[in-house]
Structure 1
Amino acid sequence: MATHLITGAGSGIGAAVARRLHARGDDLILIARDAARGKELTALFPGSRALVADLADPDRISWAFSHQPLPDRLDSLLHIAGVVDLGPVAELRPKTWHQQLNLNLIAPAELTRLMLPSLRVSRGQVVFVNSGAGLTAHAEWGAYAASKHGLRALADSLRAEEKPNGIRVTSVYPGRTATPMQAKVRSQEGESYDAADWIDPESVATTILMALDLPRDAEVNDLSVRPGR
């Protein structure tokens, strides 16, 4: 039975991945921003447990973990949580940049640093759910795309550094997916939102599980998932 630590398990792609792993009997550790949210998440996935840490404040993740038991071994660390806020560079204030860089890039880096000892024990895997914006930046996506381009660099560096320890590192780049984040993006773009227009989160979850379940003689480094219609 494998043990997975998941961020963003409350909705969208994170919830789809958590459901699939829970259904097959794996152990789940779910990151929650506070104790109340932790109770909600563990109620959704009976038998799971929560680690409380506010990813929006990465400077305090280490302090938060110092007050909670951490796993001795971890088979995978799945970075799926994210935040987006669009706007032209000419109008974006530092607060907007910090919010997206903190949650989308710095928190994954800090969480990875803290979990590496447990991942090394099991020669585990780190999965970064990135974005098409991590490959190409478009107008008004500057802050979000910068955070995701940085996430790609983090994954590439980590892969090279941890290969001697047997840790696999995968970046997944979903196109537009039917999630609450996508509904927010469409609103910011002044467009309507119809979930049927976008990738089903379950389809992205399938690609993530494929990377996790790949035999140890191979690894998926980068995986792009695009709408099929």
Structure 2
Amino acid sequence: MPTALITGASRGIGAAVARALASTHTLLLGGRDADALAAVAADLPDATPWPVELTDADALAAAVAGIDRLDLLVHSAGVARVGPLSEASADLWRSTYEVNVVAVAELTRLLLPALRAAGGRVVLVNSGAGRAAHAGWGPYAASKFALRAYADVLREEEPALRVTTVFPGRTATDMQKTVRADEGGAYEPDRYLRPESVAEAVRYAALAPDDAHLTEVVVRSAADYCNEVMERAG
């Protein structure tokens, strides 16, 4: 079976992607929490925990050693904090970019030989904030716009690879709980996408026929989109 490496696989969208790909891929489950990764792997037929701190360059280089062929790389790891620009410190900007952009770029760079060998695919889980920036989302949205630009350039520079950006709307994950707490609002999972729905979009990009190159996929919550349309209609 083809091999897929999924970052952020210990929970949320990343774990859902792992479950969605379990029947079609041998899986490497990336993340910081080795115990959580082991728990996810235990329920899957052919999955191996791949614990690593993505922002540690030396650890990352050591972790990819020995991966000489990779069919699919899914970037699902990310961080998000919400607040006004007046309260966004330089440390917040740096830490957000380190995880959401720099770690993605470095991991992909290190794995390019393995991806080229397989004629592989790269899927980057972005965000609605990577298409439209709003008040309170400065560092996060900026990092996601940068991630979108990175994917666009990678697609042009590596034409033998398939590079897909997936833009999910609000999703019912632990990260969303933190975001809603930062926003001072209620966590309303019934209004959000399920992680499994986002994972299906990733799965389709991973398994799309050879004649189809999905460059961007936008996934919105049906309930939230309906409310938005009704609000615009007055």
Give the TM-score taking structure 2 as reference length.
Answer: 0.89
Unaligned 5+ segments in structure 2 are: 224-234
SS at match of 1:73: coil
Residues 133, 68 of structure 1: CA spacing in aligned structure 2 closer, same or farther, 3 A cutoff?
closer
Deviation larger for 8-17 or 28-37:
28-37
Provide the rounded CA distance (Å) in 2 between the counterparts of 1:170 and 1:156. Answer: 9
Q: Secondary structure at the match of 1:127?
A: strand
Please give the alpha-carbon distance, in whole angstroms, between the structure 2 residues aligned to 1:25 and 1:172: 20
For 1:222, the equivalent position in structure 2 comes to 216
Identical aligned pairs, as a percentage? Answer: 47
TM-score by length of 1: 0.91
Q: What does 1:19-58 align with in structure 2 at a 5 Å threshold?
A: 19-22=19-22, 24-33=23-32, 35-36=34-35, 38-45=37-44, 47-55=46-54, 57=55
The AA in structure 1 aligned to 2:157 is E
Letter in 2 for 1:21: L
Greater shift after overlay, 42-51 or 111-120? 42-51
Checking the alignment, whether the CA contact within 8 Å between 1:53 and 1:65 is kept in structure 2 is no
Which residue of structure 1 aligns with residue 196 of structure 2? 202
Name the CA distance, whole Å, in 1 between partners of 2:25 and 2:81: 34
Kindly tell me: are residues 193 and 221 of structure 1, through their superposed partners in 2, closer, same or farther at Cα, counting changes over 3 Å? same
For the residues of structure 2 that align with 1:61 and 1:45, how far apart are their CA atoms?
29
| 2:146 corresponds to 1:146 | no
C-alpha distance in 2 between matches for 1:20 and 1:67: 24
How many Å separate the matches in 2 of 1:67 and 1:5? 12
Counterpart residue identity of residue 214, structure 2: V
Structure 1 unaligned segments of length 5 or more: list them: none
**Partner of residue 180 from structure 1, selected from 174, 177, 189:** 174
Q: Does the 8 Å contact 2:52/2:60 carry over to 1?
A: yes
The within-5 A match list for 1:119-130 is 119-130=115-126
Deviations along 1:88-111, whole A, 9 cap, x unmatched? Answer: 111111111111111111100000
How far residue 196 of structure 1 moved from its aligned partner, in angstroms, is 1.1
Which one-letter code corresponds to 2:17 in the other structure? V
Match of 1:189 among 183, 192, 203: 183
Find out whether 1:133 has 2:133 as its counterpart.
Answer: no
For the 8 Å contact 1:62–1:114, the answer to whether it is kept is no
Contact 2:9 2:37 in 1 (8 A): no
TM-aligned CA deviation for residue 62 of structure 1: 4.1
Change (3 A) 1:69 1:221: same
Change (3 A) 1:102 1:67: closer
Quote how far apart the aligned CAs of 1:66 are: 2.4
Residue 77 of structure 1 contacts residue 127 of structure 1 at CA under 8 Å; is this kept in 2? yes
**Counterparts of 2:32 and 2:90, CA distance in 1:** 23
Equivalent residue, structure 2, for 1:97? 93
Aligned to 1:7: 7
Asked if structure 2 preserves the Cα contact closer than 8 Å seen for 1:52 and 1:64, the reply is no
SS in 2 for 1:66: helix
- Note if contact 2:60-2:107 (Cα within 8 Å) is conserved in structure 1: no
Distance 1:183-1:35 versus aligned 2 partners, 3 A rule: closer
Residue 197 (structure 1) shift: 1.3
Task: Look up the SS of the partner of 1:218 in the other structure.
Answer: coil
Equivalent residue for 1:82? 78
Between 144-153 and 82-91, report the one with greater CA deviation.
82-91
- Residue pair 2:10, 2:33 contacting (<8 A) in 1 also: no
Q: How many residues align?
A: 223
